[in-house]
Amino acid sequence: QFCCSAEDRNIVQKQWSVLWGDTESSKVKIAFGRLILTKLAKEIPEVKELFNKVDIDNPEGGPFSAHCLRILNALDMSINLMDDPEALDSALDHLADQHHDRPGVKKAHFKKIAEILHTGLQQVLDDYNALSWKSCFKGILGKIASKL
């Protein structure tokens, strides 16, 4: 059972689409992903080594940029699937398995990234609706972190 209301979903989907409406959205996604992940690693230093394989030491490089795009695309997919609870559920279940398989990843890291996302989205969206985003992200991130 997904926790945010239909109205929350509509607001979040609309506001999210405003962000990536332009051409070259993958460049913007990479930049946004880089911002939130480097902030996460700065605020919780133990996180940094979890991203060694994707070369977080070179945040502008190919491996880390590709990782940033994977994360943002997964978020994008989740937000777009909120209209289809069954598909969303299996997508999030798969993401939960992928994170469960990564030793060292903790629920607390997801709490922190949720905070970082809220701060970041607030800065880039004029009409950021905090309550709607909070309840939708609670459902999405909570499910991804549910097997940790």
| Contact in structure between 118 and 141 (CB atoms under 8 Å) | no
Using CB under 6 A, pick the residue from 30, 47, 69, 82 that binds ligand HEM. Answer: 47
Pattern 60-79, ligand HEM, x by CB under 6 A = ----------xx--xx----
Of these, 102, 115, 122, 131, which contacts ligand HEM (CB under 6 A)? 102
Identify the residue whose tokens are 């109205």.
7
Q: Does residue number 58 form part of the binding site for ligand HEM (CB under 6 A)?
A: no
In the complex, minimum distance from the CB of residue 112 to ligand HEM, in angstroms, rounded to a whole number: 7
Are 121 and 109 within 8 A, CB to CB?
no
C-alpha 35/C-alpha 56 separation (Å) is 12
142: Cβ contacts below 8 Å, ≥ 6 apart:
3, 110
Give the closest residue to 100 by CA, choosing from 61, 138, 146, 64: 146
User: Of 23 and 81, which CB lies nearer to ligand HEM in the complex structure?
Assistant: 81
In the bound state with ligand HEM, the residue whose beta carbon lies nearer, of 23 and 99, is 99
List residues near ligand HEM by CB under 6 A: 47, 50-51, 53-54, 70-71, 74-75, 95, 98-99, 102, 105, 109-110, 113, 141, 144
